[in-house]
Amino acid sequence: MADLEERINESQKLGMQIIKESDDDRLMTLSVGPQHPGSGHFRFVVKVDGDYIVHCDPDPGYVHRGEEKMTEYRNFIQNIPHLERPVIHDSTNITYSYSLAVEELTGIEVPRRGQFIRAIASEINREIYTLYWLAIYGIFLGHSTMFMWPTGDRELFIDLLEALSGARVTHAFNIPGGVRNDIPNGFKDRCLRQIGYFEKRLKEYEDIFYNNPLVRQRTEGVGILTKEDAIRLGVTGSVLRASGVPYDIRKAEPYDVYNEIDFKVQYMKTADSFARAYVPFLDMRESCHILRQLLDKMPESGEVRAKLQSNPRGPPGEAYRRVESGRGALGYYIISDGSPKPYRVKISVGSFRNMLALPHLLVGAKMGDMPVIYWALNYWPVEADR
C-alpha cells in the first residue's frame, strides 16, 4: 500500500489527476479487447485521463475450457493431447511438467536417451514459442518486419519438431515414461545446421529491432517493475529475470538432464519493458547453446520410452513438478487416489502470475505504452484461462 501511495504522489508530481468518484464522467473508459487487435483472447478495461491511464481492470476468462476438470475424466495417458491445447505454441513444455508429475506418482523411470530427447524437444519448442511472442511484440510496436522475420524463422523449428513428432504444432510428444518415438535419421545434423543459421539471424534481429533507436525510445524506462514488486507479485520467467532476479527452474530445480548442461541464467537489472523484451531474446540464444550440448551429450542408442502397464497407476498420493516454460514456471499439482485417473489436477501457469502485474504497471503509464507493457509481460491469455 505504501507503494501505491508513492505512485500516487509521483503521478501527482507529473501533473496527473488521480481517479476519484466524481471524476468518472471526465474520464474515458476503454474496453480493450477481446476484439481489439492489441489484446488477444483477453480484455482489460482501462480508464484514461487524456493520454494517461489512471485505472486498469484485467478481465480474463474468455477462453476458459475447464482443462483441470477434464483431466479427472481421462486416464494419465489420455490427458496428454488436450492438456497441450491451452498453449499450442509451447505444447511440449506444457506436457513436460505433467509427465514429470505423473512419473513421480507412478514411479516410472525414464530412460536416459528419452530424457535427452525430451529436453531437445522442449528447447526447440521454447524457440518456437519465443519467436511467436517476439513476432507479436514487433507488430504491437508497429514494426512489421519484426513480425515477418520471426514468423518465417519459426518455420524452421516447426519443421524440426515435425520431423521429430509428426505434427507441426500440437505434438503430444512428451508422455509419462519418455517420448513417443525415437529421433529420425540425420536429425542431429539438420538441427545443428538450423541452429547455426538461426544464430546468424539472431544478430540481425538485434540490429533491426533491439538496437533500433525508436524501439529503445519506446521501451526503455517504460513500465518499471522493481525487484521487490516482482517478487511480491509472484511473476516468473522472463519477467522475473528482467527485474534482476536470476531465477530459472532449469537451474533452481533441475529436472531430467538439465543438471548436466552448462548454461547461464540470462537476466537484466533495468526492470523495464526493454529488459522484459530482451530477456526472451537472450533465452533464445541460450537455448541454441543448450541444444548444441544436448545433441552432443545424447547417448547414441537406447530406449526412449519406459515400458508401462496399459493403464498406469500409482499408490494414492500427490506430486508437484514444474518446468521452465516460455512464459515462466509451469507446474502441475496432481492428487491421485490410486485409480488410473487423477483425482484432482491443478495447473499453475506463468501467464496468470504475469498478468497480475498488468494493472500495477499500466496505471500511470501512457496510452501508447499499453501494448508495449502488456505484451512484454509474456502473457498468453489462453494459457492463463486454462
Partner 1 sequence: MATVPGEFRFGNFLASIIWIILIVIVLVTLVILPVIFIVLFYLPLPPVNGEILTPYLFLSEVVDPTRTLPIIKFLIHTTPFKVIVFPGFVFAAIIAAATIFVERKFLAKMQLRVGPLYAGVWGVGEGILQLAADGLKVISKEILIPSGADRPIFWAAPIAFVATAAAVTALIPVAPGWVVSNTNVGLIAVFAILGFFPLIALLFSWASNSKYPFIGGLRALHQMIAFEIPFILSALSVVILAGSLNLTEIALAQHHIWFILFLPISAFVFFISSLAELERVPFDLPEAESEIVAGWLTETSGMIYGLIQLGSYLKVYALAALFVILFLGGWSGPLLFPPQLGPPSINTAPTIEKMLTLQGFYNHLTVNATFWFLLKTVVIIMLMILPRGINPRIRIDILLHTGWYKLIVLAFVNMFVALALVYAGVLGPGGSLSVH
Footprint of partner 1 (CB under 8 A): 28, 30, 36-38, 51, 138-149, 152, 208, 212, 214-215, 217-218, 366-371
What angle do the packed helices 273-297 and 187-205 form, to 10 degrees? 160
CB nearer to partner 1: give 37 or 315.
37
Measured in residues, the chain has a length of 386
- Shortest gap between Cβ of 277 and partner 1 (angstroms)? 11
User: DSSP assignment of 327-362, as one string?
Assistant: TEEEEEEEEE-SSSSEEEEEEE-HHHHHHTHHHHHH
Task: Quote the least distance from Cβ 362 to partner 1, whole Å.
Answer: 12
Q: Closer CB to partner 1, residue 173 or residue 375?
A: 375
- Least Å distance between CB 250 and partner 1? 32
Q: Can you tell me the distance from the alpha carbon of 324 to that of 249, in angstroms, rounded to the nearest whole number?
A: 5
How many H-runs (helices) and E-runs (strands) does the chain carry? 16, 8
Nearer residue to partner 1 within complex by CB, 128 or 141 = 141
Residue 188, judged by CB atoms within 10 A of its CB (0-12, 13-18, 19+), counts as: middle
CB of 272 to partner 1, least distance (A): 14
Degrees to nearest 5, angle at CA 23 with 20 and 26: 150
- Please, what is the minimum distance in Å from the beta carbon of residue 343 to partner 1? 43
Query: Which C-beta is closer to partner 1: that of 96 or that of 140?
Result: 140
Omega before residue 111 within 30° of 0, cis = no
Q: Using CA of residue 320, residue 290, residue 131, residue 160, what is the dihedral sign? A: negative
Which is closer to partner 1, CB of 61 or CB of 368? 368
Q: Which residue number, 51 or 260, has a Cβ lying nearer to partner 1?
A: 51
In the complex, the smallest distance separating the C-beta of residue 97 from partner 1, rounded to whole angstroms, is 32
CA pair distance 263, 278, nearest whole angstrom? 17
Q: Which H or E element spans position 317?
A: strand 317-325
Of 140 and 247, nearer to partner 1 (C-beta) is 140
Whole-angstrom CA distances from 91 to 41, 60, 81, 131, 162 are: 18, 21, 9, 14, 13
Q: Least distance from C-beta 374 to partner 1, angstroms?
A: 9
Residue 94 and residue 350 in contact, taking contact as beta carbons nearer than 8 Å:
no
| Residue closer to partner 1, measured from CB, 136 or 304 | 136
Residue placing its CB nearer to partner 1 in the complex, 47 or 322: 47
CB of 140: closest distance to partner 1 in angstroms?
Answer: 4
As measured in angstroms, the least distance from the Cβ of 209 to partner 1 is 8
Tell me the C-alpha distance between 268 and 275, whole Å.
6
- Mention every residue, 6+ apart, whose C-beta is less than 8 A from residue 306: 108, 109, 110, 111, 114, 177, 178
Strand 43-49 versus strand 28-32 pairing type: antiparallel
Q: How far is the CB of 368 from partner 1 (least distance, A)?
A: 4
C-alpha cell at 256: 531430467
User: What's the grid cell of residue 117?
Assistant: 530427447
Q: Which is nearer to partner 1, 144 or 339 (CB)?
A: 144
Q: Which distant-in-sequence residues (6+ apart) come within 8 Å of 4 by Cβ? A: none
